[in-house]
Amino acid sequence: MEKAMLLKVEKTGEILKLIDGRRLRVNPGDMPNACTWLPTTELEISEGGSGLFSVSVHNIADDVVIRGMWI
């Protein structure tokens, strides 16, 4: 698990851009949660899940976990 910081949410929750420049495509079912996340939100990211959206992103502030994939 690694720590990261959110820079912005793009395309109404479809894409998360991290402060280090990496980008994640959000699982469509998780977009309603992701679109409410604010810049500078601290995240915990872990990889290794199954399926297309194998990256787990935990918003530490509101304790919500979404699934995504690197793009």
Tokens 């919500």 belong to 64
What's the Cα-to-Cα distance from 38 to each of 14, 50, 54, rounded to whole Å? Answer: 14, 27, 23
pLDDT at 65 over 90: yes
d(CA 3, CA 39): 15
pLDDT digits (tens, 9 = 90+) for 8-60: 999 889 999 999 999 999 999 999 999 999 999 999 999 987 899 999 999 99
Residue spans per domain, the chain? 2-70
What is the predicted pLDDT for the residue at 50?
Answer: 83
